[in-house]
C-alpha cells in the first residue's frame, strides 16, 4: 500500500526526499503545481498531517512555494534547484564513499571501477 | 480544543480493577492509535466513551459534554464484536442507519460497498466473517461524525482489504474529525496515525506522542517499540 518507508527515520523526511527527487528529476517541472496534500497523502497512504509536514520541509528548503489557496508550486529559481541537486548527489556520494572505505577500496580503484562499469553499460 | 477528556477515571469489574486513575486529553482533528497489550482496558475505555459502560468513578467529556444522547450523536463507534442481526440484508442495514443517524451518507456507503464488491442484496448470514466486518466498518465510516471510535477495525480481514480500509479511513475522515483506533496490528496502521498512546495495565499511559517523531527519536517503528516496551520475560 502506498510508498515504502524505512523504519529508522521519520516518515515525513522520507516523503520529503521522495518528492525532492521527483522535482530534481523533472517529474514535477519548475513552476508546475504539485497535487494537493490530501491527494498526495492518499497516494502515499500516509496521514495527511505527515504529508503536510513533508511539504512544509520542502518549502523551507526553497524547492516549493505556496500561492495561498491556489496550491503549491515548484520553484522557478534555477540556482536553488541546482544547489539541491548538488546536495542530493553529495549525500549519495557520502554513503557510497563510506561503503568503499569500509571495504578498503582506494580512490584510484573506485575511479577505475566506475570507468569500467560505464564502458560495459555503453556496450548494451 | 480537546474532543475527549477523561479525568481521574476508574473502572472495576467486581474486584478486578481495569482502569485506575486514568487522565487523558485528546485533541480534535487527529488520528490516534490506542495501543496496548490484551486486557489493558482499551475496549473498556472505548465502551465508556460510548456510554455502554459506566465508570466506577471519574469523568468523561466528549466535545465539552458529559456522556449522553448528545455525545452519542456525534460518535461513530465500531465495536469489537458485531451487534447486527444476521437475518438482515445489507441494504436493510443501510436504511436502518439512514433512519438512526442524521449524519449518515448513503451515497458514500453504497460507493464503498461497490468498491469492495459486496452485494447490497445479500443477507449478513451468507457473508464471511471478514466481509461482515467490512460491512460494519462501512456503516461506521459513512457517517459524518466528530469522533470515530474504531475498536479493532482490521483484525479479521485480509491484507488487501486492510489496505482498502485504511485508505477509507484516510479518505473519509474530515480534518475536524478525530479517529481513535485500537489494534494489535500496529505495523499496518502506524503510517496513518498522528499520535499514539501505549496503554499499560490499569490504563497507565506508558508512552505517547507523535507517531512519526518516535521513529526519529528511537530509530524504530511503533511496532518495534511496542514489542520492546511490552516484552514478556521468559
CB pairs under 8 A between A and B: 53
A50/B167 Cβ within 8 A? no
Cell triple for residue A92? Answer: 549519495
Half-sphere exposure of B218 (CA within 13 A, CB side): 17
User: Which of A56, A76, A96 is the last residue in one of the domains?
Assistant: A76
Query: Does A7 contact B at CB distance below 8 Å?
Result: yes
In a shared domain, residues A17 and A59: yes
CA B113 remoteness from chain centre: 20
Bridge partners, B198 (sequence order): B35, B207
Contact list in B for residue A42 (CB cut-off 8 A) is 167, 170-171
Average pLDDT, chain A: 90
Residue of B nearest to A47 (CA): B192
Residue A35 falls inside a structural domain: yes
Note the pLDDT of residue A7: 83
Where residue B139 falls among pLDDT bands split at 50, 70, 90?
very high
Residue A3 falls inside a structural domain: no
B216/A10 Cβ within 8 A? yes
In a shared domain, residues A38 and A83: no
A1/B163 Cβ within 8 A? yes
CB A64 within 8 A of CB A34: yes
The mean pLDDT value for B177-187 works out to 92
Backbone angles phi, psi at B174, to 5 degrees: -95, 155
Residue A97 falls inside a structural domain: yes
In a shared domain, residues A48 and A34: yes
Instruction: Give the pLDDT confidence of A79-117 residue by residue, as tens digits.
Output: 999 999 999 999 999 999 899 989 999 888 888 988 888
Query: What is the three-class DSSP state of B209?
Result: strand
Note the pLDDT of residue B82: 80
Residue A109 falls inside a structural domain: yes
DSSP A37: H
User: Which of A55, A76, A97 is the last residue in one of the domains?
Assistant: A76
The residue whose grid cell reads 502506524 is B190
Note the pLDDT of residue A2: 81
ipTM above 0.90, yes or no: no
Residue A42 falls inside a structural domain: yes
Note the pLDDT of residue B38: 87
Bridge partners, B26 (sequence order): B4
In a shared domain, residues A29 and A66: yes
Query: Which residue from A22, B162, A56, B114 is spatially nearest to B170, judged by alpha carbons?
Result: B162
A42/B171 Cβ within 8 A? yes
In a shared domain, residues A63 and A86: no
The mean pLDDT value for A4-9 works out to 87
Whichever domain contains A57, its CATH number is 1.10.10.10
B220/A7 Cβ within 8 A? yes
Percent of chain B with pLDDT over 70: 100
In a shared domain, residues A22 and A57: yes
> What is the reported pTM?
0.87
Classify each residue of A78-103 as buried b or exposed e, where b means 16 or more C-beta atoms within 10 Å of its C-beta.
Answer: eeebeebeeebeeeeeeeeeeeeeee
Where residue A124 falls among pLDDT bands split at 50, 70, 90?
low
Residue A1 falls inside a structural domain: no
Instruction: Give the pLDDT confidence of B149-164 residue by residue, as tens digits.
Output: 999 988 878 888 888 8
In a shared domain, residues A72 and A83: no
Lowest mean pLDDT among A33-37, B39-43, B174-178, B221-225: B174-178
In a shared domain, residues A95 and A113: yes
CB B147 within 8 A of CB B62: yes
Note the pLDDT of residue B176: 86
In a shared domain, residues A33 and A64: yes
Contact list in A for residue B191 (CB cut-off 8 A) is 2, 5, 11, 45-47, 50
Instruction: Give the pLDDT confidence of B6-22 residue by residue, as tens digits.
Output: 999 999 999 999 999 99
| CA–CA dist A63, A117 (Å, integer) | 33
* pLDDT of A3 over the 80 cut: yes
The mean pLDDT value for B66-75 works out to 94
Where residue A122 falls among pLDDT bands split at 50, 70, 90?
low
In a shared domain, residues A24 and A54: yes
Note the pLDDT of residue B149: 96
Domain that holds residue A97: 79-122
Angle at which helix A48-60 crosses helix A37-44, to 10 degrees, equals 110
DSSP B139: H
In a shared domain, residues A72 and A26: yes
| CA–CA dist B18, B20 (Å, integer) | 7
Number of domains in chain A: 2
The shortest C-alpha distance from B50 to chain A (Å) reads: 25
Residue A28 falls inside a structural domain: yes
Residue A96 falls inside a structural domain: yes
In a shared domain, residues A107 and A85: yes
Q: What would the DSSP string read from start to end of B162-175?
A: HHHHHHHHHHH--T
Amino acid at each position: 500500500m502506498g510508498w515504502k518507508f524505512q523504519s529508522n527515520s521519520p516518515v515525513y523526511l522520507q516523503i520529503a526526499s521522495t518528492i525532492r527527487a521527483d522535482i530534481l528529476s523533472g517529474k514535477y517541472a519548475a513552476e508546475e503545481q504539485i497535487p494537493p496534500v490530501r491527494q498526495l497523502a492518499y497516494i502515499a497512504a500516509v496521514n495527511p498531517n505527515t504529508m503536510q509536514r513533508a511539504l512544509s520541509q520542502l518549502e523551507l528548503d526553497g524547492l516549493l512555494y505556496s500561492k495561498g489557496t491556489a496550491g503549491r508550486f515548484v520553484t522557478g529559481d534555477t540556482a536553488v534547484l541546482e544547489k539541491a541537486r548538488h546536495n542530493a548527489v553529495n549525500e549519495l556520494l557520502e554513503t557510497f564513499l563510506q561503503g568503499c572505505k569500509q571495504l578498503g577500496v582506494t580512490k584510484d580503484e573506485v575511479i577505475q571501477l566506475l570507468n569500467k562499469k560505464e564502458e560495459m553499460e555503453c556496450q548494451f | 480544543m480537546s474532543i475527549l477528556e477523561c479525568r481521574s477515571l476508574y473502572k472495576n469489574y467486581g474486584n478486578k480493577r481495569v482502569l485506575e486513575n486514568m487522565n487523558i486529553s485528546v485533541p480534535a482533528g487527529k488520528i490516534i492509535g490506542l495501543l496496548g497489550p490484551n486486557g489493558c482496558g482499551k475496549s473498556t475505555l472505548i465502551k465508556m466513551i460510548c456510554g455502554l459502560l459506566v465508570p466506577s468513578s471519574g469523568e468523561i467529556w466528549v466535545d465539552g459534554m458529559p456522556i449522553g444522547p448528545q455525545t452519542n450523536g456525534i460518535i461513530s463507534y465500531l465495536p469489537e464484536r458485531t451487534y447486527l442481526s444476521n437475518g438482515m440484508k445489507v441494504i436493510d442495514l443501510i436504511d436502518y442507519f439512514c433512519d438512526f443517524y442524521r449524519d449518515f451518507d448513503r451515497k458514500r456507503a453504497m460507493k464503498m460497498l461497490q468498491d469492495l464488491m459486496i452485494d447490497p442484496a445479500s443477507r449478513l448470514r451468507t457473508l464471511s466473517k471478514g466481509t461482515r466486518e467490512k460491512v460494519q466498518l462501512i456503516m461506521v465510516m459513512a457517517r459524518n461524525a466528530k469522533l470515530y471510535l474504531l475498536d479493532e477495525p482490521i483484525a479479521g480481514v485480509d491484507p488487501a482489504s486492510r489496505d482498502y480500509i485504511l485508505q477509507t479511513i484516510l479518505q473519509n475522515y474530515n480534518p475536524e474529525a478525530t479517529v481513535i483506533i485500537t489494534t494489535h496490528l500496529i505495523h499496518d496502521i502506524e503510517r496513518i496515525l498522528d499520535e499514539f498512546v501505549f496503554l499499560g495495565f490499569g490504563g497507565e499511559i506508558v508512552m505517547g506522542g507523535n507517531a512519526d517523531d518516535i521513529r526519529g527519536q528511537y530509530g524504530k517503528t511503533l511496532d518495534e517499540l511496542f514489542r520492546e516496551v511490552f516484552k514478556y520475560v521468559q
